[in-house]
Amino acid sequence: MEQDTGQKENFQREANNILNKGNQRSGFFRVLGHEIWEFLKIVIVSLIIVLPIRMFVAQPFIVRGASMEPNFEDGEYLIVDELSYLLRKPERGEVIVFRYPEDPSQFFIKRIIGLPRETVVIENGSVRIQDATGGNGFALDESYLSDTVVTAPDSTVTLEAEEYFVMGDNRMESSDSRRWGTLENDLLIGRALLRLWPLSELGIITSK
């Protein structure tokens, strides 16, 4: 009888050990599941906040090529403001990012030179702007260019409503409205707002 009693006690202890281990495992998985759920909630909330900003307010852009040198160098990291042009019209001198008219899957960066219904006259290395009245207009002040920059070739382009004339600051290396024509408004993505990289150039981007 004593042997039977001892066996029963051993069996009971083993059973209790198994139950305790099971409870420990169950508790571990409950804690793990709770932590995973908390992490997922953070991810979901972050996506709810970030995605609308990324899609409708601002997006990153990396400069490729030499067309905007020396003001924008290859590899610079910019933030593009997508909201402003929903509230107002683009302005002359602003640096914009847009879909390349001949291949909308590509994104270009240029500067706005001519506005809708204006006439852009390139002559003797400089740019003149005429409004719809057809007067003499005015010579475009391009203080963002060095004095040695020459704009060529000579041409005259009259813009329709919702069309823009854009050029790169590096006039000798830029593929722009002089080559492929005017830029339609619906191809605009936004204006270059902020330079994040390199850190030595960190700051707000102006049109001057």
Contact 98, 183 (CB under 8 A): yes
Catalytic residue among 21, 41, 67, 105: 67
Q: Mark whether 37 and 105 lie in a shared domain.
A: no
Contact 83, 58 (CB under 8 A): yes
pLDDT tens, N- to C-terminus, the chain (208 residues): 544 555 555 555 554 555 454 555 565 557 667 677 766 666 564 444 444 445 445 688 899 999 999 999 999 999 899 888 988 999 999 999 999 999 999 999 999 999 999 999 999 999 999 987 767 789 999 999 988 899 999 999 999 999 999 999 999 999 999 999 999 999 999 999 989 888 888 888 887 6
Backbone angles phi, psi at 82, to 5 degrees: -95, -5
Catalytic residue among 26, 46, 105, 110: 110
* Full domain range(s) for residue 25: 1-58
Q: Mark whether 101 and 198 lie in a shared domain.
A: yes
Asked about 177 being catalytic, the answer comes back as: no
First CA to last CA across the chain, in angstroms?
Answer: 102
- Predicted TM-score of the model (pTM): 0.72
Residue with the two structure tokens 């702007």: 129
Q: What is the CATH number of the domain that holds 116?
A: 2.10.109.10
Burial class (CB in 10 A: 0-12, 13-18, 19+), 30: exposed
Asked about 89 being catalytic, the answer comes back as: no
